[in-house]
Amino acid sequence: MEMNVETAVRICPTSYPNRDLVCVQSDVYNNTIKLGNLQSIPVQHALPFDCTQNTLYATIVTPLMNYYFEGCDVSILTYGQSGTGKSYTLLGPTLNCALSEKEHGVIPRFLRQMFGNINQDTDKHFLIHVAWTQICGENVFDLLGSGSVECSNVSDAFELLKLGMSNIIGNYAHTLFTITLEQQYFLDGTVQHKISTASFIDLASSDKIVVVDNNGLTQYLPTDIGLLTLHKCIWMLSEMCTYNPNLIPYNQSALTMLLKDSFGGRAKTLLICCVSPLVNDYMETLSALQFLQRAQLVRNYVTVNSYTTYETYENADLFGLQFATNQLFKLVSNAENLFKNLLGTGTINKSQMEQISDWLMLKQECQECISESSEPHRSLDIIEEEIEDRCKSEGSESESDIQNLVQLMNNFRVKTDNLVSHVSDSVNTPKESKNSQYNEYHLKGARGRRASIHSANDFSPLLNYNTNSTDTPKPEGELNTQQKEKLIKQVNADIEGYEKQIQELLLTMNVKEKLMQQLLKHKQTKVNVRKKLKQKCLKLQNDQNIAQNKLKQAKTINNHLLESKLDFEISELSKKINETEFIKSIAEDDSKTITELEGSLNSSRKQLEKLRKCLRRKEKCKLELENDLKHSKKFTKAVVSKKPNSSFNSREITFSEDFEDIKHEIKELRRTRDRLLEQRYKLDTKSHSKKLLNDVEEQLLLQYEEAIEVIDLAIEYKNQKICGLIEIPNKDESIYKLLMQQFHKLNTDEILVLLRKYYQKVIELRSSTKKLEQQVVHTESQNENLLRQIQNLSLVLQRVRSEAERRVLSLEQQHDHKLQLIMHHLSQEGGGDDKQIMSRMVERSKQTALALQVAQGRNKQMNKGSLIARFTRYARQETVPQQLSTALTPSQAKVTRQKNKLIIQQSSK
């Protein structure tokens, strides 16, 4: 679509009461701006004199929103003299955007309208990014500090606006605010994508110089390099027929490079010219309107940025997961039926009954967790989307829901599997002895079944042995070594089971806690949702009553057509009422659920305490058994060694016993490591949740880390020992040899002291490494701060430099002016002799030049910085377009005088 750049003129309100001082008028009906009594400039939108922010937005910006959502880029620029309301038009009067919505400028209004549209469109997926830059000469600064920032609602966007505003430095810079909108939706089995950018450019005002071109036309050209290049580009674009588009000098300034798409590009562009109506500002207003006249001749090629892909939704795996979950649900409900039937038959013993009831309770608990964590929230999210802002965190929440779901289902599957096989086995062999049950159990263990749920009777020999146990009698007579070993194995399995149960319980508690947090978070939203839904229900019921009354009337007058129509309407309304009631029921008050969850959490805590107690008891029992076993082994060894004919056998026994011992030690080490890991994990989570660790905790964390590493090493060593892979160090190494000799002399206590010292040394080393790392991070952040300061300083330098350039330019102009006055004075003094005048003039100008040289010399000594600035300016002249460079060359200019004005005219070649 080929379209001209759209233009609008806004006249800045003035406090001057005297109408004679006003020379600009807006003819809203004919869309013209009247300048004095002479000129009438046609524009696309001549805004009324007292145009409010709302009128401006509704008349000229709202239509651009349609282009934007269609996938076209849009650009809105403000241009004009300083203080005429450019920033006011784009942003509003103050830094605090939220202060008064009535005064909000184009950008905040655009953001609100855009998010409003997005919230109404539930069929599409939207992604929004904003960016804000400041262009200072040739430098571009990021006002948000992190490039393009994703934002999901109006308040986020307003926060970013405030942040950017607080980072704007000075008045002499252009700013560019962009909102990028990405849309995705399904259409006929394909995914449609649209990407459009809305750019809002506040063009800074700039000093002007007067130039008369070859055709004798006066031009007021800005001194700012960006604006000057923009003028040049627009000038060339407006005379497109005579220019090759490739010759447009966009790349001569940063500003024009950034605005390439807005003039002669693919964007739909609106240029708002802000002008002052005062006579004093006549020339500036004229210059702005001339620029606007040129700009509205520029043609853009507005295009829709869209493409199609043929993929399905990224999270297609979700369907697979859902399927698997459904299957698992079916399995679980089958198992439930089986257990219920078994309970009914009465063929199972008391402990099995307890197990089944435990299982059923757990299943109930899981189901509650799953239904709380997935279904209601998902449907509620949808309602919230319709009524409230689209929630950014929705994706991550549903992700974690799925993770929880999968984890719960896995735990559940293992438990079900275990229990089903256990129950079915015991049902098949109801008359077997306790011992055979126990053997079965361990055979199952060997097939890889999980051994986390045990009844007290499963381990009767062990519990019989446990002196602390009150519910089981002590065994009659002593147990032999083999029995003791078996018992230890059982205890180990039992301990593992308890540990796993504790872990699972912790996990469930974690899920419950998260659920509670989510419920509390959504509580207020649900209240709002319910209120709105209640209103909706009432309205629907009202409509239904009206329709029923009409139906009665229709029946009395026998209007069958109306009757069937009303019947249909009533049934539709009742459907809608049911649906709304259903949605309302989903958004039911959570207080009850929260209390239930709290209760459940408390009971879980109690259960956890119980399990920990059991675990401690088992560990104690195991220790006793192990000690006992050691003693009896020593005793057996002693007896065996006394038998002369059994040396071979005794070696074999010792080896296998050693082997078993090492394995057992490894298990022990692993358990200790797990406990240490748990402790470390607690401290880790504390530090990750941004709670600072105190010194003691920091020290503890380091100690845990070191201890875990040492235990890992020990496990590795023992594993190697079992496999016969121990590397025997080269004993010839003198230091090693020396050390070993010394170590051999040490007794156990001394070795322990030595080890402790080593351990402390390592902890100290770890601590200092950590401190060093923290220092590095700190230094890096300091570095970043310094870099930011350098950036700020260079910005200030740039400003000072352009100020200096401006001053030099005005000094030059003053100098020229004085020169002209001198000429005039001399011509009057000398009585018209041209030669004499010339020679006097040359003499004076020599004097002036000399004076300037002296001044410059002084300057050189006084201010090196301004000299550098001067140098940079001349060095940069290469990039200044031809018009300006020629306009500034005195030798090619002709100076004439009209009334009180001096005009520098470019001499034609």
Ligand X SMILES: Nc1ncnc2c1ncn2[C@@H]1O[C@H](COP(=O)(O)OP(=O)(O)OP(=O)(O)O)[C@@H](O)[C@H]1O
Based on the shown chain and the rule CB under 6 A, indicate whether residue 551 belongs to the binding site for ligand X.
no
Residue partners of 406: CB distance under 8 A and separation at least 6: 321
Among 86, 174, 415, 673, which residue sits at the site for ligand X (rule: CB under 6 A)? 86
- 299-301 vs 2-4, strand pairing mode: antiparallel
Based on the shown chain and the rule CB under 6 A, indicate whether residue 88 belongs to the binding site for ligand X.
yes
Residue range at the interface with ligand X (CB under 6 A); choices 86-94, 120-128, 243-251, 859-867: 86-94
The amino acid that residue 551 corresponds to is L
Helices (H), 476-559: 481-556
What is the closest distance, in whole angstroms, from the C-beta atom of residue 12 to ligand X in the complex?
5
> How many Å apart are CA 451 and CA 574, to the nearest integer?
55
Query: To which H or E segment does residue 629 belong?
Result: helix 591-642
- The two tokens of residue 265 are 């590009």
Binding positions are 80-87
Based on the shown chain and the rule CB under 6 A, indicate whether residue 597 belongs to the binding site for ligand X.
no
Cβ–Cβ < 8 Å for 108, 124: no
Nearest to ligand X of 91, 254 (CB atom): 91
Among 26, 87, 355, 373, which residue sits at the site for ligand X (rule: CB under 6 A)? 87
Nearest to ligand X of 87, 152 (CB atom): 87
Based on the shown chain and the rule CB under 6 A, indicate whether residue 175 belongs to the binding site for ligand X.
no
What is the closest distance, in whole angstroms, from the C-beta atom of residue 210 to ligand X in the complex?
20
Based on the shown chain and the rule CB under 6 A, indicate whether residue 177 belongs to the binding site for ligand X.
no
Nearest to ligand X of 103, 674 (CB atom): 103
Nearest to ligand X of 84, 452 (CB atom): 84
Binding positions for ATP are 80-87
Residue nearest to ligand X (CB): 85
Cβ–Cβ < 8 Å for 348, 342: yes
**Three-state secondary structure readout of 107-150:** HHHHHHHHHHHHHHCCCCEEEEEEEEEEEECCEEEECCCCCCEE
- The two tokens of residue 835 are 């030669």
Nearest to ligand X of 28, 324 (CB atom): 28
What is the closest distance, in whole angstroms, from the C-beta atom of residue 106 to ligand X in the complex?
12
Nearest to ligand X of 12, 493 (CB atom): 12
Q: Is 340 helix (H, G, I), strand (E, B) or coil?
A: helix
> Cα dist. 645→641, 654, 739 in Å?
9, 16, 41
Looking at residues 3 to 42 of the shown chain, list those that interact with ligand X (rule: CB under 6 A): 12-13
Residue range at the interface with ligand X (CB under 6 A); choices 84-92, 214-222, 299-307, 818-826: 84-92
State the DSSP code for 221.
E
Cα dihedral 499, 500, 502, 506 in deg (nearest 10): 140
What is the closest distance, in whole angstroms, from the C-beta atom of residue 592 to ligand X in the complex?
54
What is the closest distance, in whole angstroms, from the C-beta atom of residue 288 to ligand X in the complex?
11
- The two tokens of residue 764 are 């100290």
Q: Is 814 helix (H, G, I), strand (E, B) or coil?
A: helix
Based on the shown chain and the rule CB under 6 A, indicate whether residue 802 belongs to the binding site for ligand X.
no
Q: Which of 148, 295, 151 is nearest to 236 (CA)?
A: 295
Looking at residues 486 to 525 of the shown chain, list those that interact with ligand X (rule: CB under 6 A): none
Cβ–Cβ < 8 Å for 566, 544: no
Cβ–Cβ < 8 Å for 667, 715: no
Nearest to ligand X of 10, 454 (CB atom): 10
Based on the shown chain and the rule CB under 6 A, indicate whether residue 170 belongs to the binding site for ligand X.
no
Based on the shown chain and the rule CB under 6 A, indicate whether residue 418 belongs to the binding site for ligand X.
no
Among 41, 71, 85, 479, which residue sits at the site for ligand X (rule: CB under 6 A)? 85
What is the closest distance, in whole angstroms, from the C-beta atom of residue 92 to ligand X in the complex?
8
Encode 488-514: b = buried (16+ Cβ within 10 Å), e = exposed.
Answer: bebbbbbbbbbbbbbebbeebbebbeb
Residue range at the interface with ligand X (CB under 6 A); choices 22-30, 75-83, 214-222, 682-690: 75-83
- The residues with which 306 forms a beta bridge, in sequence order, are 194
Based on the shown chain and the rule CB under 6 A, indicate whether residue 223 belongs to the binding site for ligand X.
no
Residue range at the interface with ligand X (CB under 6 A); choices 81-89, 130-138, 440-448, 852-860: 81-89
Nearest to ligand X of 22, 420 (CB atom): 22
Q: How far is C-alpha 626 from the geometric centre of its chain's CA atoms?
A: 55
Cβ–Cβ < 8 Å for 902, 817: yes
Say how many C-beta atoms besides its own lie within 10 A of residue 561's C-beta: 8
What is the closest distance, in whole angstroms, from the C-beta atom of residue 50 to ligand X in the complex?
8
Based on the shown chain and the rule CB under 6 A, indicate whether residue 205 belongs to the binding site for ligand X.
yes
What is the closest distance, in whole angstroms, from the C-beta atom of residue 818 to ligand X in the complex?
30
Based on the shown chain and the rule CB under 6 A, indicate whether residue 441 belongs to the binding site for ligand X.
no
What is the closest distance, in whole angstroms, from the C-beta atom of residue 179 to ligand X in the complex?
20
The amino acid that residue 407 corresponds to is Q
What is the closest distance, in whole angstroms, from the C-beta atom of residue 94 to ligand X in the complex?
8
Nearest to ligand X of 87, 253 (CB atom): 87
> How many Å apart are CA 706 and CA 22, to the nearest integer?
83
> How many Å apart are CA 77 and CA 63, to the nearest integer?
16
> How many Å apart are CA 651 and CA 234, to the nearest integer?
101
Nearest to ligand X of 227, 356 (CB atom): 227
State the DSSP code for 587.
T
> How many Å apart are CA 683 and CA 4, to the nearest integer?
65
Among 54, 62, 100, 171, which residue sits at the site for ligand X (rule: CB under 6 A)? 171
What is the closest distance, in whole angstroms, from the C-beta atom of residue 792 to ligand X in the complex?
20
Based on the shown chain and the rule CB under 6 A, indicate whether residue 767 belongs to the binding site for ligand X.
no
- 6-11 vs 306-309, strand pairing mode: unpaired
- Helix (DSSP H) and strand (DSSP E) numbers for the chain: 24, 19
What is the closest distance, in whole angstroms, from the C-beta atom of residue 165 to ligand X in the complex?
12
Q: Is 183 helix (H, G, I), strand (E, B) or coil?
A: strand
- The residues with which 165 forms a beta bridge, in sequence order, are none
> Cα dist. 337→75, 341, 649 in Å?
67, 6, 55
Nearest to ligand X of 93, 265 (CB atom): 93
- 39-42 vs 32-35, strand pairing mode: antiparallel
What is the closest distance, in whole angstroms, from the C-beta atom of residue 103 to ligand X in the complex?
8
Size of the site for ligand X (CB under 6 A): 15
Based on the shown chain and the rule CB under 6 A, indicate whether residue 147 belongs to the binding site for ligand X.
no
Nearest to ligand X of 88, 263 (CB atom): 88
Among 84, 296, 798, 802, which residue sits at the site for ligand X (rule: CB under 6 A)? 84
Residue range at the interface with ligand X (CB under 6 A); choices 80-88, 478-486, 818-826, 899-907: 80-88
What is the closest distance, in whole angstroms, from the C-beta atom of residue 161 to ligand X in the complex?
15
What is the closest distance, in whole angstroms, from the C-beta atom of residue 217 to ligand X in the complex?
26
Residue range at the interface with ligand X (CB under 6 A); choices 83-91, 312-320, 410-418, 651-659: 83-91
Nearest to ligand X of 93, 830 (CB atom): 93
Based on the shown chain and the rule CB under 6 A, indicate whether residue 82 belongs to the binding site for ligand X.
yes
Based on the shown chain and the rule CB under 6 A, indicate whether residue 276 belongs to the binding site for ligand X.
no
- The two tokens of residue 385 are 């989307």
> How many Å apart are CA 366 and CA 370, to the nearest integer?
6
Based on the shown chain and the rule CB under 6 A, indicate whether residue 274 belongs to the binding site for ligand X.
yes
Q: Which of 421, 423, 411 is nearest to 354 (CA)?
A: 423
Residue range at the interface with ligand X (CB under 6 A); choices 76-84, 181-189, 490-498, 639-647: 76-84
Nearest to ligand X of 21, 752 (CB atom): 21
> How many Å apart are CA 375 and CA 315, to the nearest integer?
18
Looking at residues 820 to 859 of the shown chain, list those that interact with ligand X (rule: CB under 6 A): none
Q: How far is C-alpha 678 from the geometric centre of its chain's CA atoms?
A: 31
Based on the shown chain and the rule CB under 6 A, indicate whether residue 48 belongs to the binding site for ligand X.
no
Nearest to ligand X of 272, 629 (CB atom): 272
Q: Which residues bind ligand X (CB under 6 A)?
A: 12-13, 80, 82-88, 93, 171, 204-205, 274
